[in-house]
Amino acid sequence: MNQNSNLQHVTVLLDEAISALAVQPNGRYVDGTFGRGGHSRLLLSRLGSEGRLLGFDKDPQAIQVGKSLACDDSRFSIVQRSFSELGSELEENGWAGQVCGVLLDLGVSSPQLDEAGRGFSFLNDGPLDMRMNPEQGVSAAQWLALAPEQDIARVFKEYGEERFAKRMARAVVARRAERPFERTCDLAEVLSVANPAWEKGRHPATRAFQGLRIHINNELVDLENGLEAAFDALGVGGRLVTISFHSLEDRIVKHFMRRLAKGEADHLPRDLPVRSSIFEPRLRVIGKPQYASPAEVASNFRSRSAIMRVAEKLR
C-alpha cells in the first residue's frame, strides 16, 4: 500500500459520527466503509474489552490497512465485501439483530481520488479504471468501449446529474471510433470540449466522471440494499449513521429513514388488508442533518458537501 495515500486521508465528521453512534462499551458495531480506518480507530477507543467492531470495504488497499489494525487490536476484524452484503456476513458471525450501531461513510475516499493509478480523478492522469475493487467487474475504459450511446448518456444524466449528457455521450462515441479511451485525462478533455457551459469553480467533466464512477461501482443499488441490511442488523435502540457527499446518496438515505419513521402504510394500496403494526414507526430520526463545520471545511475542502443523518431503530 502507498503510505502517502494513508497519510493524505482526512476522515470527515469524525467526532460527530462516533458521538452519534452513542457507543456502548461492550456493544457490537459495524463500519460499513472502513476506508483508512479513521472512524474505526476512534470507535475502538470508546469500546471496552468485550466490545467488537467489524469493518467492510471493497478496496484491497483499505483491506490491507484493516488487517494491520486487526493484528494490533483483537476486537476488530475486517472483510472484503460491500456493505450491501453485511446481512449475510452478520448471519455467519451470529450478529444478526444484535448490532448496536452501523456507520456508512459513503462515496469515494481521498486516497482513491489522489492516487492516479486508480483512475478516479480527471486531475491526475492515470488508467481509466474507477473500480473500488480492481479485481472485480469491468473498468470504466472497458465499459465505455462497448456501451451504447444512450446508455452512456443515461449514466451521465441520472448518476452525474449532467444536463449536457447527450452531447457528452455523442462526443465519447465519436472519439472512441478513432481510438479507445484508456486514460483519465483523455476522457476529461473530450468531455470538457463537449460541455458548452462551464461552471465557475467546477471542472467541466466533474458530473460525468461522478456518474461513470457510480455506475461502475453500482453505488446507489449497493446503498439501497445496504440501508435495508443495516436496519435488519440493528438491535432495538441501535443507531444508523450515514455520511453522504452528493444529492443522489443523500436523497436515498433521507427517503429510507423517512419511510421507516412514518411506517410502511403510505406505500401500500388503500384497500389492501394489513396488520395494524405496519402503521407503527420502525425508526426514529435523531436530530437534523449535520454538516461539516467551517473550520473542518477550511482544513479539508472535500468535507464541504458532507451531510450526516442519524436514526435509531425502534422495533
Residue 225: φ, ψ to 5°: -70, -35
Predicted confidence (pLDDT) per residue in 78-106, tens digit: 999 999 999 999 999 899 999 999 999 99
- Residue 209 marked as a ligand binder: no
pLDDT at 271: 58
What is the value of pTM for the model shown? 0.90
Residues 26-66: pLDDT tens digits? 999 999 999 999 999 999 999 999 999 999 999 999 999 99
Kindly give, in sequence order, each residue whose CB lies less than 8 Å from that of residue 201, ignoring residues fewer than 6 positions away: none
**Strand intervals (E) in 187-227:** none
Residue 3: which pLDDT band, with cuts at 50, 70 and 90? Answer: very low
pLDDT at 277 over 80: no
As a whole number, the mean pLDDT across the chain is 92
Question: Residue 111: is its pLDDT beyond 90?
Answer: no
Which domains are seen in the chain, by residue range? 3-111+219-313 (3.40.50.150), 115-217 (1.10.150.170)
Q: Is 237 annotated as a binding residue?
A: no
Which residues touch 206 (CB under 8 Å, ≥6 apart)? 122
Task: Say if residues 106 and 223 touch (Cβ distance below 8 Å).
Answer: yes
203 known ligand binder = no
Instruction: Using CA atoms of 81, 83, 88, 91 in order, give the dihedral in degrees to the nearest 10.
Output: 110
Is residue 56 marked as binding? no
Q: Pairing relation of β-strands 234-244 and 52-56? A: unpaired
Element (H, E) at 232: helix 219-233
pLDDT of residue 2: 37
Give the β-pairing of 52-56 and 76-79.
parallel
Q: What is the pLDDT of residues 224-247, one digit of tens each?
A: 999 999 999 999 999 999 999 999
Q: What is residue 156's predicted lDDT score, i.e. its pLDDT?
A: 98
pLDDT(193) > 60: yes
Between 69-78, 116-125, 268-277, the lowest mean confidence (pLDDT) is in 268-277
Average pLDDT over every residue of 119-123 = 88
Joined together, the cell numbers standing for residue 286 give: 435523531
Residues 13, 18, 22: CA angle, nearest 5 degrees: 140
Given pLDDT bands bounded at 50, 70 and 90, which one contains residue 275?
A: low
For residue 37, say whether it is annotated as part of any ligand binding site: yes
Q: Residue range 241-267: average pLDDT?
A: 90
Cβ atoms of residues 112 and 120 within 8 Å: yes
In a 13 Å sphere around the CA of 263, the CA atoms on its Cβ side amount to 11
* The pLDDT of residue 274: 58
Give φ, ψ of 239 to 5 degrees: -105, 140
pLDDT confidence of residue 4: 39
* DSSP annotation of 155: I
DSSP letters along 288-301, please?
A: S-EE--HHHHHH-G
Is 98 annotated among the ligand-binding residues?
no
Q: Is 9 helix (H, G, I), strand (E, B) or coil?
A: coil
Longest dimension (CA), the chain: 62
Task: DSSP letter for 272, please.
Answer: -
**226: annotated binding-site residue?**
no
Cα 84 to Cα 4: distance, rounded to the nearest angstrom: 29
Across 14-28, 264-278, 288-302, which has the greatest mean pLDDT? Answer: 14-28
Q: Where are the alpha helices (DSSP H) in 38-95?
A: 38-46, 60-72, 86-93
Going by pLDDT thresholds of 50, 70 and 90, the confidence category of residue 6 is: very low
